[in-house]
Amino acid sequence: MGKIILVDKAKGMTSFDVCFKLRKIFNTKRIGHTGTLDPNATGLMMVLIDNATKINQFVLSARKEYIATVKIGILTDSEDIDGKVILEKKEIMPDKEKIEETLESFLGKSKQVPPMTSAIKVNGKKLYEYQRNNETVDIKERDIEVFEIKLLKINEETFVFSCIVSSGTYIRSLAQDVLKKLNIIGTLSDLKRTRIDDFKLEDAYTLEEINEGRFNSLDIYDVLSKYYYVYEVANESDVLNGKALKLELNEDTILCVKDKKALAIYKKENNVYRCVRGLL
């Protein structure tokens, strides 16, 4: 059976580094995660181990929460503190009310241009590969949504805000859009992911804790039951054999279970539910 672990990623590690270390701890080759964090970012990662890797495409991750720190007066080529400084100038921090008003203007649905440092592919090539080769490429805007955003702290050099955003939203790009509207330059100096849907950073474990066995894991049912309608099957073998189910349900996708054991994901097709992924 697979397991899901909520990991509190440390600064300086890539998401690949986290999975590499966990692969050794659990002595497995089957491992993945539901969303990358940049090396400079810290906080919550959801890591899937063994059979749990089967659910990656079904973890919707509709909302993610972050705490972002922005340093004004400095601009880098990566839009975060790890990049090469391309511009420095003396900036005066806008007043609290102005920053709050600007942040609130980003609430709701909008378009966003992903950063060149991202791993999004254009013409089969990742954006950061274009950047490394000093190549230009047209980047299409993406639909994003900001559900919540608020100012947490402010001083002469930095301001800190929290936000809850749709999956696929780049916080460094959001920060740049905020700075442009404030008519000042700055860069993302710190980023922490604090929540993925209903899963919280406070319930996550460091790699040290996991290595020492001081952690609890989630199973597939714990996670997928947060996203899908749970259908308790009468005959487990029918689902394990991929039998189509005629059910009077309105949901497009359902999680078939037996005694809280996740068996399969089924989707409606012409009023019949058919198996799209076995989970055992």
Which residues are part of the catalytic machinery? Answer: 38
Question: What is the Cα–Cα distance from 114 to 213, expressed in whole angstroms?
Answer: 38
Residue 224 φ/ψ, nearest 5 degrees = -70, -25
230-263 in b/e burial notation, b at 16+ Cβ within 10 A?
ebebeeeeebbeeeebeeeeeeebbbbbeeeebb
Cα 81 to Cα 15: distance, rounded to the nearest angstrom: 18
The tokens for 5 are 């672990």
**CA-CA distances (angstroms) from residue 76 to 80, 94, 166, 196, 255?**
6, 21, 25, 28, 45
Q: What is the dihedral of CA 26, 201, 45, 15, to 10 degrees?
A: -90
